Amino acid sequence: MTRKASPTIALFPEASFGAALNCVGIAQALRARGARPVFICHAGFSGVFADYGFQEYQLPTDDPLSDSERQSYWQAFVRRHLPHFRLSPIDQLETYVAPTWQAIVDTAVNAEAPLRQLLARLKPDAVVLDNVIMFPALAGTACPWVRVVSCAETELPDAEVPPYLSGLAADDPSRPTFESRYLAAVAPAHERFNRLRADAGLAPLPKGLFLEASPDLNLLLTPTIVRRERAEPLDSSRFIYLEGCVRSEGPFEVPVFPRNGGPLVYVSFGSLGAMDVGLIQRMLAVFDRLPARFIVNVGGLRDAYRAVPDNVYLDAWFPQPSVVAKSDLFIHHGGNNSFCEALRFGVPSLIMPYCWDGHDNAQRAGETGVGDHIGRDGWTEGVLERAILGLLADDAMRARLKDNAAQMALKPGTDVAAEAILSLVRT
């Protein structure tokens, strides 16, 4: 086989499950087409991709954290940020968004030298970056790089699109206030990032932007049903919208519940959201009195729960696409991966966002009639109960979502992404 017949595609997702698992979906489709997908991963994610059968290359770090240091980091992280996740998007700017951008810039700085060395050694035919920040080493490679916009569409700014991370409607009058506070909050991180770019010979990016469009190919995980009208439409030769990007998982067997029967509701707030034990406990009390079955992802904290209701099943991890496919409602945090999976299987979303683009997807779910959203804080048992029962009873929404899911199934995002990447390296 020639090199072009079996091109090496290096997928480089950020160290979060959403991006990692999107890329697994694309890699599965690339492998099915004879390419050789490999993963460049941050410390801590090696093993995740190998379990799906992919070669991994871990980025070495100069000063790796010990297990106990990681524990301490997370204890402090959770203690500091759980209260912030109950704030409005604008009040998260200084408390959560700005320090997170600082940490993301640290990631880019630390990865620069090892990434440059790894790419020189690996000589991929293309690199697929699924992240929110640019790694200057990519611009120095001889091969094309592909950007995956796996957050909400708001990640690509436009006059008709609400500001990224704002949770606002497009015409919300508070838009200028949010934008100016955002730019001020992220300015220190942005200035550091532009210095990194300058050191690598890259032009600075405008204020508030951390990642430019790829000159070759950009893939947006934005299904048609939630897509926005843009003042300046994206160039279709470089920007391709995907109808989600759902990986293939094994079958899921619905567990037996002591109190069986009724619709199936899947609840997952991602690995970070699973740490909000207090919130999930309050929700379980509501689930107990509802005529439905609930499957709840609680991460590694199952032992924090007692007297779990008979219509609730907890576990640390689920093959999410296979679970969503069997569910009647998906309660999630608005992560774009979860949102796209709900749409792909025609399941309404009840979004309870706590940070980042979860706010944007929550707003969009309500605007487009594909679900509902309630705030993470301040809800009463009655509010949650009505939201769940309302969505379960909304036959019109369900029918519309099922029709849409059938359309999405005709054009799987993973296949479209793989075809686009391969045509890029074969031209």
Q: In the chain, what is the greatest distance between 2 CA atoms, to the nearest angstrom?
A: 63
Question: Do the bridges between strand 329-332 and strand 264-268 make them parallel or antiparallel, or are there none, so unpaired?
Answer: parallel
Q: What stretches of 279-351 adopt beta strand conformation (E)?
A: 293-297, 312-315, 329-332, 349-351
Instruction: Give residue 58's identity as a one-letter amino acid code.
Output: Q
Question: How is residue 187 written in tokens?
Answer: 């300015």
Angle at 224 between CA 219 and CA 225, to 5 degrees: 140
* Between 35 and 275, CB nearer to another protein: 275
Question: How is residue 29 written in tokens?
Answer: 């489709």
CB of 56: closest distance to another protein in angstroms?
10
Q: Are 240 and 409 in contact (CB under 8 A)?
A: no
CB of 108: closest distance to another protein in angstroms?
10
* Between 3 and 302, CB nearer to another protein: 302
Residues 6+ apart with CB under 8 A from 23: 11, 13, 39, 128, 130, 148
* Between 17 and 339, CB nearer to another protein: 17
What does residue 37 show for φ and ψ, rounded to 5 degrees? -80, 135
DSSP states along 345-371: TT--EEE---STTHHHHHHHHHHHTSE
CB of 181: closest distance to another protein in angstroms?
20
* Between 50 and 120, CB nearer to another protein: 50
Q: Are 129 and 213 in contact (CB under 8 A)?
A: no
Q: Are 49 and 41 in contact (CB under 8 A)?
A: yes
Measured CA to CA, the distance from residue 36 to residue 51 in angstroms comes to 16
Instruction: Give residue 102's identity as a one-letter amino acid code.
Output: Q
CB of 301: closest distance to another protein in angstroms?
6
CB of 266: closest distance to another protein in angstroms?
14
CB of 335: closest distance to another protein in angstroms?
11
* Between 262 and 369, CB nearer to another protein: 262
Provide the angle, in degrees to the nearest 10, between the axes of the packed helices 381-393 and 277-287: 60
* Between 109 and 169, CB nearer to another protein: 109
* Between 239 and 318, CB nearer to another protein: 318
Question: How is residue 362 written in tokens?
Answer: 């929550």
Q: Are 7 and 126 in contact (CB under 8 A)?
A: yes
CB of 106: closest distance to another protein in angstroms?
7
Q: Are 59 and 76 in contact (CB under 8 A)?
A: no
Find tokens 């899947």 and name the residue: 266
* Between 104 and 169, CB nearer to another protein: 104
CB of 171: closest distance to another protein in angstroms?
29
* Between 48 and 362, CB nearer to another protein: 48
* Between 12 and 241, CB nearer to another protein: 12
CB of 299: closest distance to another protein in angstroms?
6
* Between 80 and 227, CB nearer to another protein: 80
CB of 60: closest distance to another protein in angstroms?
14
CB of 376: closest distance to another protein in angstroms?
15
- Residue 169 CA from chain centroid, whole number: 20
Phi-psi region of 274 (alpha: psi -120 to 50; beta: other; left: phi over 0): alpha
What does residue 70 show for φ and ψ, rounded to 5 degrees? -65, -40
Residues 6+ apart with CB under 8 A from 415: 29
Question: Do the bridges between strand 349-351 and strand 293-297 make them parallel or antiparallel, or are there none, so unpaired?
Answer: unpaired
